[in-house]
Amino acid sequence: MIPVIALVGRPNVGKSTLFNCLTRTRDALVADYPGLTRDRKYGDGKAGEHEFIVIDTGGISGDEQGIDEHMARQSLLAIEEADAVLFLVDGRHGLNPADEMIANHLRRSDKPKFLVVNKTDGINEDIALADFYSLGMGELHSIAAAHGKGVRQLIDTVMAGF
Ligand code: GDP
Ligand code: MG
């Protein structure tokens, strides 16, 4: 069985950047503005010896209407399809109400989930992480998807469960 890993989080936290890093493609559009990934996007992921399927999603902002509502629904479907969920947050912007909403949803799911603090390149990691312990999701995983930093270690941890 090839595990399925879903990437969820509010728009602009770096889900598509991580998707591209894991699939070694540029299939997912990366942008400075939120909301580019409207549907679920599937890719073949590879990290070291590990192989898995990765799902990129559009993101959940918490006040969805119209196309945003569609994106949020796609994210919830991706969580249902997944064997493990990577919940991404932005280490440069700190905790956001949408993060808390997503955490509340994930708490109700019995899937293995990993809180991933992205964009910790070039900033004080301890300060960047401090905000997110209050989400109550256990251990934090610090990465910089744009540079591949911490990604191998994260996937080793996730895949150890399969
Ligand atoms: P998504 O909306 O969650 O899919 O986020 P994207 O992958 O489109 O990235 C949003 C923005 O964050 C883009 O400008 C990326 O270049 C930037 N970004 C993503 N990962 C990193 C990172 O590790 N470090 C920094 N500094 N910026 C990042
Ligand atoms: Mg995206």
Residues lining ligand 1, CB < 6 A?
9, 11-17, 30-32, 34, 37, 59, 118-119, 121, 144-147
DSSP three-state, residue 86: strand
Residue 75's domain comprises 4-159
End-to-end CA distance of the chain: 9
Q: Please tell me the total count of domains within the chain.
A: 1
Q: Which atom of ligand 1 is nearest to the CA of 92?
A: 26
What CATH number corresponds to the domain at position 72? 3.40.50.300
What is the bridge-based pairing of β-strands 113-118 and 84-90? Answer: parallel
Look at residue 31 in the predicted model and tell me its pLDDT. 72
**Residue whose tokens read 């209407």:** 65
Pocket test for ligand 1, best of 21, 29, 30, 68 (most atoms within 8 A of CB): 30
Tell me how long the chain is.
Answer: 162
Model confidence over 32-81: pLDDT tens digits? 665 556 678 999 999 999 999 999 998 887 877 777 787 788 889 999 99
Q: Which atom of ligand 1 is nearest to the CA of 29?
A: 8
Check if the interface score ipTM surpasses 0.90. Answer: yes
Among candidate residues 88, 57, 94, the one with its CA nearest the CA of residue 150: 88
- Is residue 14 part of an annotated ligand binding site? yes
E-only strand ranges, 22-105: 41-47, 50-56, 84-90
Between the CA of 50 and the centroid of ligand 1 the distance, in Å, is 24
DSSP three-state, residue 84: strand
Q: Which atom of ligand 1 is nearest to the CA of 149?
A: 23
DSSP three-state, residue 79: helix
Model confidence over 109-143: pLDDT tens digits? 999 999 999 999 999 999 999 999 999 999 999 99
Q: What is the pTM of this model?
A: 0.94
Nearest protein CA to atom 17 of ligand 1, as residue: 14
CA distances 162 to 2, 47, 76, 112, Å, are 9, 14, 22, 10
DSSP three-state, residue 64: coil
Between the CA of 107 and the centroid of ligand 1 the distance, in Å, is 25
